A and B are shown apart, each in its own frame.
With several copies, the nearest count.
Chain A
């Protein structure tokens, strides 16, 4: 998509949000084994299956009770994640989406800037709920660079995906200070954080949803 096109597509409607969440669900489904493998190294080997279960419920719910607005879509998805995932990632991702959804209100269409601000609010809520700081080797290390990279146009979606990816990769040398991986102390170093990895998948799905 060229940047001239993106100008007219700046309004993101409910179906964009449905495409985003569906793309995220597919991506999580395909990468589930890898996520579990990463969680097996420094966690309890369930992150892939947790995310897969949660996002399957999200796509199910989107079909069964199609949301009437972008905000409603995110709130619905967030509620599904809270109700179906369990673990640390369920409440955190659930809060991220619910909080972002609330920020969008009931507008029928939102701008990339509004989405960026909403996600920023969601990520802040994750930080507050989980008490993690950047560098603690959590999903925040992918989510924070992603919302930094989000701008006023949809072109920034690709940049956000790349930033999240880089952020996830950057967790490898980190010493975990939050979540299950923190129990390992020094032994957590050298492994990529599963939550940061799934965050990168979800952020990358933003750009896919533009197609």
Chain B
């Protein structure tokens, strides 16, 4: 499998160099793998910090900036970052008002962020944590690692980031982040596996004419394999899977997310079907975002995330944001 890279070993560092060169509004520490808002620490502001394996861009580095994250820590491809990164980043962004760690629910992320939180607290930084676990394809039970964190991460980071930008204290920013996560559910499908630079080939075999239902974003196969379905059928399946778990009684934010290699033409066609199902299920849509936001390298496929919002959350969603990957209002 061909890739636009130098060697597998340097893909993350190379991408960070490119991010630094392309976005002067970011401070990128390539060696230590920390991406920080150039104006950090923002005085009297609660800071948001996230991170996770690379390969999901623009998540998280593309979400660093005004109104969203203060710092992001990219790990190796599909590998959670190490505590040293988070501790360094926390020190760089803490204004004294504390730092919220936004953590996707994967064992690796959870453990590394937990260690980082302890170390950061040892250094006198107040830390709160929110765990994102929105993927309904995974049964949430004490007998599993719990639901994965996927598309809802964007909603959590944007909305909690807006609250922090408004000057909310750490407890409120944390509470909002938890509320957004609790109000969000996702479901994803893959039409093709992805290719990790280290492996150089597809992470799983998917025969022609079949698709994976309930995939995550790390190249892992899904819960179920089926004969290829139409955009319409996939939308029915995915939205119903989400609505089985989340029964919105107020409007929703909709993220129609591309996994990386699905053309925008297809993604918007899929968005049409998602809106159709939502209409049939009498769910009101407040805002829609369509694009490649929480990706899985070159995987073809898409995911749907719904986030039920009230007026307060919607106002925070609409608030200005200025990052490489998401921008409006400023």
Contacts and interface: CB of A to CB of B under 8 A. Distances in A.
Whether A and B touch directly in their complex, counting CB atoms under 8 A apart, is answered as yes
Interface of A: 36, 40-46, 49-50, 53, 82-92, 129-130, 177-180, 182-185, 187
Contact of B112 (A90, A130, A187): A90
B218 interface: yes
Contacts of A50: 76, 79
A86 B80 contact: yes
B76 A91 contact: no
Given A42-B220, A178-B107, A183-B216, 6 more contacts: A85-B79, A86-B81, A91-B112, A129-B111, A183-B144, A183-B223
A184 B82 contact: no
A130 to B, nearest CB: 7
Contact of B198 (A36, A43, A178, A183): A36
Contacts of B112: 86-87, 90-91
Contact of B220 (A44, A83, A88, A130): A44
A142 B80 CA distance: 23
Given A180-B220, A184-B220, A83 B111 contact: no
Contacts of A41: 204
B126 interface: no
A210 B27 CA distance: 49
B80 A87 contact: yes
B78 interface: yes
15 contacts: A36-B199, A40-B199, A40-B219, A44-B219, A44-B220, A46-B76, A46-B79, A83-B83, A83-B84, A85-B82, A89-B108, A91-B111, A180-B218, A180-B220, A183-B148
A198 B108 CA distance: 16
A95 to B, nearest CB: 8
A86 B199 contact: no
Contacts of B77: 46
B143 to A, nearest CB: 5
A90 B204 contact: no
Nearest to A178: B145
Contacts of B204: 40-41
Contacts, number: 111
Interface in B115-163: 115, 137-139, 143-145, 148
Given A49-B198, A178-B145, A182-B145, A84 B220 contact: no
A46 B80 contact: no
B82 A84 contact: yes
Interface residues of B, number: 36
B203 A86 contact: no
A196 B133 CA distance: 26
Nearest to B144: A182
B148 A45 contact: no
A178 B145 CA distance: 5
Contacts of A42: 220
A92 B82 CA distance: 12
What 6 pairs across the A-B complex have the smallest Cβ distances? A91-B111, A44-B218, A88-B107, A87-B108, A88-B108, A44-B78
Contacts of B145: 177-180, 182-183
B203 A87 contact: no
B205 to A, nearest CB: 10
Given A50-B79, A83-B83, A183-B145, A45 B219 contact: yes
Contact of B138 (A40, A92, A183): A183
Given A86-B112, A185-B139, A46 B221 contact: no
Contacts of A130: 107, 111
Interface in B252-306: none
Contacts of A84: 82
A86 B107 CA distance: 10
Contacts of B196: 44-46
Contacts of A89: 108
B237 interface: no
A182 B223 CA distance: 10
Contacts of B139: 185
Contacts of A46: 76-79, 196, 198
Contacts of B199: 36, 40, 45
Contacts of A180: 106-107, 145, 218, 220
B67 interface: no
